[in-house]
Amino acid sequence: MLKLRSIDEGCLEAAAKLLREGFPSRSLAFWQRGLRRLADHNRTLGEPSVGTFLMAGEKPVGILLAIPRQDTVTGRRIVNLSSWYVEEAHRWSAARLMIAALRDEDTIYTDLTPTQAAAEVNARFGFRTFDTKVHLLALPWTAIVGRRRNRLMALEAVPHGAIHEELMRDLAKHRELGCIVTIVAAAGRYCPVVFDIKPRKHIPTARVVFAESTDLVMDNLAGLSRMLMLRGVPFMTLQVDEGASLPHSVLLRNGMCYQVRGEWDARKIDELYSERVLLKV
């Protein structure tokens, strides 16, 4: 008989091995590092589990990771679901993992990197789908031709109280996790922009994981480009709506999507504490 089991810190190695089986393009060490970061994050929130196993006897045959956080504006709980995999012989029970994960009606649930199969199942559970594509920008070029609307400033230079205290803590934590954090000072407002850095073909590439809008990034593209280049990052990727155009860029990948169940501002780029940051996918 199949049953569900929470994945506590004593089960991380078993989780890494199952994820290696389900996503063979990633190494065992990749999953071990990512799960350790996820467990450390969840522990700070008092969450002992990083997700759920589907068990056949004492053997894990399915997995779904859960990354919780609190929205600093609304106070609502957000749970990012990730890395859903069930061995082929047991896929008829895969939905049990989703049913268990979606038990709180007041929580906002997201899946930022669904496979096609996961997206179809998510839709049956009430997730809305946002079709997207990813563009690549060469920063030496955009530093010259990009817009220069506002000035950038360091996180430490933000006036006290100008940014919500909990968001300031989140920004500082993301910097500890290896992200680059900067602030756009715009007409008396202080707007954070967060970049996750990961190699693409061995070249450091920044991905925007937090900003109030794509327009904010594009309106300040020249300054952001120079700031990233000073930190040794020559490329940036930006996810936009499927129908949007993005000047000074090339299309890197289309036919993508993310999914949400609950209230969501689609203008905002919000991948804080997501698998992008913690798992580096």
Domain termination residue (choose one: 111, 145, 172)? 111
Classify residue 38: in a domain, yes or no. yes
Angle at 210 between CA 39 and CA 212, to 5 degrees: 145
pLDDT at 102: 96
The per-residue pLDDT for range 125-174, each reduced to its tens digit, is 999 999 999 999 999 999 999 999 999 999 999 999 999 999 999 999 99
Q: Which domain holds residue 140?
A: 132-278
User: Is 270 found in the same domain as 140?
Assistant: yes
CATH code where residue 238 lies: 3.40.630
Classify residue 150: in a domain, yes or no. yes
User: Is 139 found in the same domain as 73?
Assistant: no
User: Is 162 found in the same domain as 33?
Assistant: no
User: Is 141 found in the same domain as 103?
Assistant: no
Burial class (CB in 10 A: 0-12, 13-18, 19+), 195: buried
pLDDT at 281: 87
Which parts of the chain have pLDDT scores under 50? none
Domain termination residue (choose one: 111, 141, 158)? 111
User: Is 143 found in the same domain as 61?
Assistant: no
User: Is 106 found in the same domain as 214?
Assistant: no
Question: What pTM was computed for the model?
Answer: 0.94
What is d(CA 246, CA 159) in angstroms, rounded to the nearest whole number? 33
Amino acid at 103: R
pLDDT at 218: 96
pLDDT at 259: 98
Q: What are phi and psi of 5, to 5 degrees?
A: -145, 135
Domain termination residue (choose one: 111, 144, 169)? 111
CATH code where residue 37 lies: 3.40.630.30
pLDDT at 117: 87
The CA-atom distances, in angstroms, between 247 and each of 176, 199, 266 are 32, 23, 20
Classify residue 138: in a domain, yes or no. yes
The total number of structural domains that make up the chain:
2
pLDDT at 186: 85
Full DSSP string of the chain = -EEEEE--GGGHHHHHHHHHHH-TTS-HHHHHHHHHHHHHHHHHTT---SEEEEEETTEEEEEEEEEEEE-TTT--EEEEEEEEEE-GGGGGGTHHHHHHHT--TTSEEEESS--HHHHHHHHHTT-EEEEEEEEEEEHHHHHHHS---SEEE-GGGSPTTSS-HHHHHHHHHHHHTT-EEEEEEETTEEEEEEEEEEEETTEEEEEEEEES-HHHHHHTHHHHHHHHHHTT--EEEEEEETT---TT-EEEEEEEEEEEES---TTSEE-TTSHHHHT--
pLDDT at 179: 98
User: Is 190 found in the same domain as 148?
Assistant: yes
What is d(CA 124, CA 52) in angstroms, rounded to the nearest whole number? 20
